[in-house]
A = this chain, B = another copy of it.
């Protein structure tokens, strides 16, 4: 069974054993003959994939009224995977979604590492530092690098910890954020597992 999580920059495949990425600008989805179960946040590609009968959009098997209209399908699938957790998906944006007793409570969007570093750099060349993920967030900073690292990380940390729920990290920068959220679990297969769950729940129709 081939699964595919499509973002704005890449097709992320999982063939049951291995996961691999293909660039959206060069990969041709019609080159695949087998059945591909997918979710897609990329509107242009979405239209194209609708015309390919072997690409099955799993989004249609979600009860969308639990979520909000403009919420990304990748966030929805991450939320569908858990019962009680704060899910932090750390990529170009950091999305933070709260699930309690299997119910989506709500979520927010925070800039990703590179986007936020660029922001500080644009405010002033004097703030052009990499974030220090080893910075002690229990101590108020007394140097410029820690002042921006703390500004980016401690603010996020305070909000996330206030929910008093287990924390699940996913996305390309999950391991960086685990330095801050030391008790968090990294689950890089969160969305693929959720896709498998949805397929199992709908196997009469899908398989």
Q: Which 8 A-B pairs have the closest CB atoms?
A: A106-B140, A158-B158, A155-B155, A108-B151, A108-B150, A110-B151, A68-B142, A119-B119
A110 touches B155 (CB 8 A): yes
CB distance from A129 to the nearest CB of B (A): 10
Q: Collect the chain B residues with CB atoms within 8 Å of residue A150's CB.
A: 108
Q: Find A143's partner among B68, B112, B116, B154 (CB 8 Å cutoff).
A: B68
What secondary structure prevails in chain A residues at the interface with B? mixed
The range of chain A's interface size is 35 or more
B142 touches A106 (CB 8 A): yes
B162 touches A158 (CB 8 A): yes
Q: Does A29 contact B (CB under 8 A)?
A: no
Each complex incorporates copies of this chain amounting to: 2
Q: Find A70's partner among B68, B120, B143, B159 (CB 8 Å cutoff).
A: B143
Q: Does A98 contact B (CB under 8 A)?
A: yes
Q: Does A156 contact B (CB under 8 A)?
A: yes
Q: Collect the chain B residues with CB atoms within 8 Å of residue A30's CB.
A: none
CB distance from A155 to the nearest CB of B (A): 4
Q: Does A124 contact B (CB under 8 A)?
A: yes
Q: Does A115 contact B (CB under 8 A)?
A: yes
Closest Cβ neighbor of A158 among chain B residues: B158
B158 touches A92 (CB 8 A): no
Q: Collect the chain B residues with CB atoms within 8 Å of residue A140's CB.
A: 98, 105-108
Q: Does A174 contact B (CB under 8 A)?
A: no
Q: Collect the chain B residues with CB atoms within 8 Å of residue A119's CB.
A: 111, 115-116, 118-119
CB distance from A148 to the nearest CB of B (A): 5
Q: Does A63 contact B (CB under 8 A)?
A: no
Q: How far is the CA of A155 from the CA of B151 in the complex (A)?
A: 10
B112 touches A123 (CB 8 A): yes
